[in-house]
Structure 1
Amino acid sequence: MSEIEHSVAKSSTVAPAGDGAGRPGRLKKTIVMVGMMGAGKTAVGRALAARLGVPFLDSDHEIEEAANMTIPEIFARDGEAFFRKKEAQVIARLLVDARGVLSTGGGAFLSAENRKTISDKGVSVWLNADLPVLWGRVRHRDTRPLLKTPDPKATLRDLYEQRVPFYAEADLAVVSDAQVSVEGMVDRVLAALATRPDVLEPEE
């Protein structure tokens, strides 16, 4: 299991912010991690927040806390349309409440409303992992309601093909592969953010 796979598998979704010593810059807008399930949004987002000394939030975790139910339970009881409505409300609230790093569910960026909200209030960073990498990370987990099908690999491929054109609209894209560590991914994200001084202001 790679470092990213190990980190993705952790149950904790909130990491303590650092003290800011030696941090790469001052965050001016919330960084929103988008991409497919298994791309490493939570693991990389948590490590990025620690590096920047800012809060880390996970929209799925916030939805589960508010509903007192897991995402699979919400899907089973209320359906995907209900979940997507709540997801949009939570993302909009989190973008207003605090500047930090926000990890979103794989389907969140498909919504035009969410894309506009994220663009207006923050910056979207697409963790672009190819299909073999994604399948290697999610194949042994049973917490993905959209993959509870007779052929989950084919389902993942279909989702990938449907969603990539939407992810490509993100403000920044960073390649996520099987060789790089979580901290290496943070370095890549920070390099991408260096092109956006409106988001991350370099420390003097």
Structure 2
Amino acid sequence: MAEKRNIFLVGPMGAGKSTIGRQIARTLHLDFYDSDSEIEKRTGADISWVFELEGEEGFRAREEKVIGELTEHMGIVLATGGGSIMSKENRNRLSARGIVVYLKTTIDKQVARTERDKRRPLIAEAENPREVLETLAESRDPLYEEIADVVVETDEQSAKVVASQIIDQLGF
């Protein structure tokens, strides 16, 4: 590859961004980053603690800073947090600095993939996680669509197959 391009994965929680991102990075020999993991590394605390202490606003400010820094790299695969696209600044940076892939999934799959995961602050304590996911989808799905260069359905396929499809579609 003469020019190393960035691949940025967006989509809701449970879409497979981290798993698929690692697979793409491994296949293309690119560095992989996960914005949530990066925030945890820098704060020395998990996401739910940051949410608890600083609220969603504090977390989103950290996320914006991390995404700003990571998107300046070249030749990376970045899995973003599900809500990262709520920031216009993040949407602009992702669109301008790489290829944005929207990993699309159904609410049913999200519920199944996240039901035992207590590390997702927006649904961890929710009485009805499905309702929360539906509300999030209403506001976020149009934003994922808006910045996506490629949209890939992740529901009925393994991470390896989805990663291969993305690599083929992008012509890497």
Task: Provide the TM-score with structure 1 as the length reference.
Answer: 0.79
CA distance in 1, matches of 2:43, 2:23: 27
The match for 2:132 among 135, 151, 155 is 155
Q: Which has the larger radius of gyration?
A: 1
Equivalent residue number for residue 113 of structure 1 = 89
Rate the CA distance shift 1:190–1:27 in 2: closer, same or farther, 3 A.
farther
CA distance in 2, matches of 1:66, 1:140: 26
Matched ranges for 1:7-22 at <5 A: none
Compute the RMSD of aligned alpha carbons: 1.3
CA positional deviation for 1:26: 5.8
Matched ranges for 1:1-204 at <5 A: 28-147=4-123, 148-169=125-146, 170-177=148-155, 179-194=156-171, 200=172
- Unaligned 5+ segments in structure 2 are none
Q: Which amino acid aligns with 1:185?
A: V
Equivalent residue number for residue 20 of structure 1 = none
- Report the identity percentage: 36
Secondary structure in 1 matching 2:9: strand
CA positional deviation for 1:173: 0.8
CA positional deviation for 1:29: 2.0
Secondary structure in 1 matching 2:71: helix
Q: Would the aligned equivalents of 1:27 and 1:100 in 2 still touch at CA under 8 Å? A: no
- Unaligned 5+ segments in structure 1 are 1-24, 195-199
Task: Provide the TM-score with structure 2 as the length reference.
Answer: 0.93
Q: Would the aligned equivalents of 1:74 and 1:83 in 2 still touch at CA under 8 Å? A: yes
